[in-house]
Amino acid sequence: MRGLFFPLCWGLIFMLLQTTIFPRFLPPEMRPNLLLILVIYLGLSESFVRAAFLTLLLGALQDVFCGSTFGLYATVQVAVFLLVRLISDRLNVESRRLLLALVGAGTVLQAFLLGFLLTTFAEAGPVLWILLSNLPLQILANLLSGWLLLLCLLKFQPLIGTRQGMAGLPYQSKHHGA
């Protein structure tokens, strides 16, 4: 239960920040996408079924609260998650640099997927141009947010503990890979 409850709570907190606090204080191109960072983290550190369920649920909730086309963010989040899982089998998932590199790559992938899906399935006009013009600042905002969240996670990890047998950033296991 703890494996579903805490990431879901963090996802709801991140969604609340993205929809209420950030729009009041940050310009649109500098608003970090905290749910994308959480999806990438889940893809690196959780079991496949649990992370896939949480990713789909968080994407659907993002569609409900701040999406205009239902299913758009759920599809994009699941696609990002699946690519992270595909890549994570071949890389060292305990690397902090990998998380930040995947945040940057995930931001680019999310922009292209959103642009492609909106221009293909909706009357969205020049959406791709708008997304691409804001992409460098969005990557910077997501990287800074990912770095800050990673620092907080590593600082508070001894206080909240880890789950047994789970590899990933918070759990440097000597049994991982054996």
Q: Is residue 171 in some structural domain?
A: no
Q: Which residues contact 23 (CB under 8 A, 6 or more apart)?
A: 31
Q: Is residue 174 in some structural domain?
A: no
Maximum average pLDDT range among 4-8, 28-32, 77-81, 95-99: 77-81
Of the candidates 55, 50, 43, which has an alpha carbon nearest to the alpha carbon of residue 89?
A: 43
Q: How many residues are given for the chain?
A: 178
Maximum average pLDDT range among 92-96, 104-108, 127-131: 104-108
The whole domain housing 42 covers 2-160
Confidence band of 132 (pLDDT split at 50, 70, 90): confident
- Of 130 and 178, the structure prediction assigns the larger pLDDT to 130
Query: pLDDT digits over 33-43, tens only?
Result: 999 999 998 88
Residue 129 · residue 66 · CB < 8 Å: no
Query: pLDDT digits over 135-173, tens only?
Result: 888 889 889 988 888 888 777 766 655 544 444 554 444
> Which stretches of the chain are assigned E, i.e. beta strand?
none
Return left, alpha or beta for 71; rule: phi > 0 is left, psi -120 to 50 is alpha, else beta: left
Q: How many structural domains are present in the chain?
A: 1
Q: Is residue 150 in some structural domain?
A: yes
- 129: which 2 tokens? 């141009």
Q: Which residues contact 34 (CB under 8 A, 6 or more apart)?
A: 14, 15, 17, 18, 145, 149
Region 118-129: mean pLDDT is 71
What is the reported pLDDT for 124? Answer: 61
Mean pLDDT of all residues belonging to the chain: 81
Residue 52's domain is classified under what CATH number? 1.10.1760
Residue 84: pLDDT above 60?
Answer: yes
Q: Is residue 176 in some structural domain?
A: no
Q: Is residue 74 in some structural domain?
A: yes
What is the reported pLDDT for 123? Answer: 67
Considering the chain, what percentage of its residues have pLDDT values greater than 70? 81
Q: Is residue 169 in some structural domain?
A: no
What is the reported pLDDT for 174? Answer: 38
